[in-house]
Structure 1
């Protein structure tokens, strides 16, 4: 019999892909989506009918403990992805990050205790590590809150750990490195480069080109979540999802320029530069624990992932605003 599973943040980038893959797997999926008066379900609205019609949508707000508890009743597995994630916006509105990322996670943890959730996966981020002190970064790497966003995710992770240790809650902390792919918003670097290039402009506005990132294709990230949900030995653990390869922003921009418009060049846009002590200069992940627990390995190369992302953005460029700096 299929599990009953719920995805918070199902209307978002990674959440919509995870929801889609869970439906394909044959799970009975409830999608917890952010309530809005437009009646939209985010990226779930774009899924094909044969997928969308199999999803039970629950509209709510992760900051509301009553709605979260109601939604989680009867769910065997909960994937908690709902969060505010944009780093520049966290400089502007840190209170909202505390309310959503910390209090929202607390709501999910409390509800899981109350309704008897069998497995809970809490989404972390590689940003909790800050600039690498050593590479590859394993789960023993120190934490460093270099932005309000990362600080709130550190707080949420430690709350999740405390509920495992204090109440034996069956929690796994899932820590993806930089995920990219179709449906990602333009606040992230890959779609912001691609959308500017697709408009035909020859000056591509970016911030610092030196930082390096370990980029996960979104379907590989979703596969990592699902593999961990089925692994009892992962309970109580923190687990990276990473490729073990790093690319600088400058190298990434050069490759996308080569593929889309070789006449373009990068220009520095000062508003896109992060404060010096806040910029995470290097991220390169170690996924040995995930591989040992589940056998997971990336199924997509970086080149394949970029090609799929470019094609998606070509078909959906009207959804984006390349002339606006998206926080």
Structure 2
């Protein structure tokens, strides 16, 4: 993509990866953010300080500039889109909403999940609000031809992020031979994607006319059980025989209340994706970073940055309570 790209937000994990990929591909990139970017901005990108949720301030900041593609990374409720259809409808050839695959109803009635799988989430607030954002922009496309593309990442990570609810606490406990709790029986299926692979799949969608009016699930084809995810992290951390304790999502939520919504309405369900549309729109795309390699990157980064190795004493105590009695069993 070599055109003019505007990122509204996008200084987080996947936005930063996409920014670097976009600039490397020849795009002229502008990033609008309210605060200083948390991650390095690629050389050559322009950064403007402004509130993307304030329509008047955004118009004053951008004026009559035009863009080949605008990407909204920070629309979490329909209110965050106020004024965008009217303003950007005349100023861009494509408006990309970053949504989430969490919009799909759980349990999914038919696997694998496609872009047309039912969207339904009456409880999980994050996903429910993302559905509302999607519906608002889809209506604008139907009624006014607004050039929307909906992009749905799933569970992305990079070296700075341990892709577990328990974070680095789980890795330290596995290294110490202490039990780590896994929801269910550890065999439900999940999909992880490294942020660099997301960026490689995502950037070619910018300015792609065939993606206008479409939704695209940008996901990896690698399928893992939750036990396998824990075991790969354990191996990367030098642990051959971690102590994994399996408990129901309801039991865990009773002990760790902050996990109840995400376990009940997201993590405990099997999630498999059909990537046909993504591969049709981005010919030749294939992930390059397996989770085995990604786990090694995670551990190397955390081992090199002591401040990142945060351990929650509250979570550790909850795992101990959940693990005994009865005792957990070792998983190889």
Structure 1 length normalisation: TM-score? 0.79
Distance 2:112 2:133 in 1: 23
- Tell me the secondary structure at the aligned position of residue 127 of structure 2: helix
Does residue 41 of the first structure (1) align with residue 34 of the second (2)? no
CA 66–273 in structure 1, closer or farther in 2 if over 3 Å, else same? same
1:265 aligns with 2:266: no
1:172 lines up with 2:149 in the alignment: yes
Instruction: For residues 78-114 of structure 1, give each alpha carbon's deviation from its aligned partner in whole angstroms, at most 9, with x where no partner exists.
Output: 111125xxxxxxxxxxxxxxxx43221344434312x
Q: Which residue is equivalent to 2:117?
A: 141
Query: Which stretch of the first structure deviates more once superposed, 118-127 or 192-201?
Result: 192-201
2:109 equivalent to 1:123? no
CA RMSD of aligned residues (A): 2.8
CA distance, structure 2, for counterparts of residue 27 and residue 70 of structure 1: 24
Structure 1 residue 54 corresponds to structure 2 residue 44? yes
Once the two structures are TM-superposed, the CA of residue 55 in structure 1 deviates from its matched residue by 2.1
The 1:153/1:142 distance shift into structure 2, 3 A limit, reads same
Cα offset, 1:2, TM superposition? 4.2
Partner residue in 1 for 2:72: 80
Distance 2:211 2:313 in 1: 41
Give the Cα–Cα distance (whole angstroms) in 2 for the partners of residues 203 and 62 of structure 1. Answer: 45
How many residues matched? 296
Determine which structure has more spread, i.e. the larger CA radius of gyration: 2
Higher mean alpha-carbon deviation, 60-69 vs 315-324, is at 315-324
Given candidates 267, 281, 284, the residue that maps to 1:293 is: 281
Would the aligned equivalents of 1:231 and 1:294 in 2 still touch at CA under 8 Å? Answer: no
The structure-2 alpha-carbon separation of the partners of 1:194 and 1:107, relative to structure 1 and needing over 3 Å to count, comes to: farther
- The SS at the match of 1:43 is coil
Q: Give the deviation of 1:239 after TM superposition.
A: 0.9
Which structure 2 segments of 5+ residues have no match? Answer: 316-332
- TM superposition shift of 1:158: 0.9
The match for 2:218 is: 241
Equivalent positions of 1:157-196 (< 5 A) are: 157-184=134-161, 188-189=163-164, 192-194=166-168, 196=170
- Encode CA deviations 1:142-163: one digit per residue, 9 max, x unaligned: 0121400100010111112112
Report the Cα offset of residue 194 of structure 1: 4.2
How far is the alpha carbon of 1:317 from its aligned partner? Answer: 4.3
Q: 2-side partners of 1:216 and 1:104: how far apart? A: 27
- Structure-1 separation of matches of 2:176 and 2:7: 38
